[in-house]
Amino acid sequence: MPELPEVETVRRGLVPVLAGRRLVEVTQRRPDLRFPLPARFAERLRGRRIESIGRRGKYLLIHLEASEVWLAHLGMSGRFCIDGEDAPALGAHDHLVIRTEDGAVVRFHDPRRFGYMDLTPAETLGAHPHLASLGPDPLGRQFTAAYLAGRLAGRLAPLKAVLLDQRVVAGMGNIYASESLFRAGLSPERIAATVPGRRAERLIAAIRQVFEEAIAAGGSSLRDHRQPSGELGFFQHRFAVYGRAGKPCPGCDCDATRTGGIRRIVQSGRSTFFCGRRQR
DNA sequence: CCTTCTCCCTGCAAGC
DNA sequence: TGCTTGCAGGGAGAAG
């Protein structure tokens, strides 16, 4: 489910309910997600105030009072839901439930349990094993064409595989890699090292544009993604290539009968979608 | 270091 | 209808 735009949407949805609030009740309903949860996790959250909620790549950074950070990754199917009056009873996949001092209830729901949580001191946050080697945020100032060209130089893997490397761009995922490459007019199969200055410029612009539009749309709801309020994202309606194999390419008037339109291939075990004519 | 492959887990859609 | 198979938005860890 969640790539950068979805995680950012979740962050924005949680802020009004959690930021500045004290957690009065925390229920942990299983000992682990993808990995074991930290020792005495619920106890350590209980009674603490949440100061702010940030994001690094696909990680939510929930800053707690007393200089500790609650790190949360949604994996493939993780969801934070703000429970209203009509909230369903807790089910098998509701792994954590928190209640704030003003009565708001937030559930963490994750059927596949690829999610991940940890507690770590704020002072050493950047050195946390899961954060230390993350590349720059694609919406930040450090993500420049010079930077990207430098990271692609010397890499012989296909461009799309390198874009999925979180050390290169923090927050890129399978959907938005395909969509960004489409907008940049670059083939996912191109050797990464052959994308120097000018093309890197186009790629940077495309990635920024796609992410900004997707965030504005509340992310993409294919299966699991929902905003914490329960609303769906709607960027999936704007996909140019993802999940559209066999359909005509929206970017060129390419004749689908001649070019095959949008193609699906498998790279590093994951689906890639692109227009073989427009993307070189 | 780089790259590819397997695996973690459940749900769902397609095919038979 | 019910079974089996393959696939899904992530990424750690092992192997080459």
Report d(CA A251, CA A264) in Å as an integer. 16
Q: Among A115, A111, A125, which Cα is nearest to A70's?
A: A125
pLDDT at A253: 67
Which amino acid appears at position A3 of this protein?
E
> What is the pTM for the complete model shown?
0.97
Each residue's pLDDT tens digit, A127-183: 999 999 999 999 999 999 999 999 999 999 999 999 999 999 999 999 999 999 999
The CATH fold assigned to A4-127 is: N-terminal domain of MutM-like DNA repair proteins (3.20.190)
Residues whose CB is below 7 A of strand B:
A 34, 76, 92-93, 111-114, 154-158, 161-162, 192, 223, 268-269
Q: Where in chain A is the domain with CATH 1.10.8.50?
A: 145-275
Work out the average pLDDT over A101-117.
97
Q: For residues A168 and A149, what is the distance between their CA atoms, to the nearest angstrom?
A: 10
Q: Report the C-alpha gap between A63 and A198 in whole angstroms.
A: 39
| Structure confidence by residue, pLDDT tens digits, A49-81 | 999 999 999 999 999 999 999 999 999 999 999
More confident residue, A258 or A275: A275
Q: How far apart are CA A161 and CA A223, in angstroms?
A: 23
Q: Which of A181, A219, A226, A224 is nearest to A200 (CA)?
A: A181
**End-to-end alpha carbon distance in chain A:** 28
Cβ distance A242 to A175 under 8 Å?
Answer: yes
A8 included as an active-site residue: no
A247 is catalytic: no
A141 is catalytic: no
Which residues of chain A form CATH 3.20.190.10?
4-127
Nearest residue: Cα versus C1' of B12: A223
| Average pLDDT score over chain A | 95
Q: What is the pLDDT of residue A197?
A: 86
Average pLDDT over every residue of A221-227: 91
pLDDT given at position A1: 62
Distance, in Å, from the CA atom of A95 to the CA atom of A38, rounded to the nearest integer, reads 14
Lowest mean pLDDT among A178-192, A225-239, A252-266: A252-266
Question: b/e string for A88-126 if b means 16 or more Cβ within 10 A?
Answer: eeeeebbbbbbbbeeebebbbbbbebebbbbbbeeeebe
Question: Looking at the domain covering A145-275, what would its CATH class be?
Answer: mainly alpha
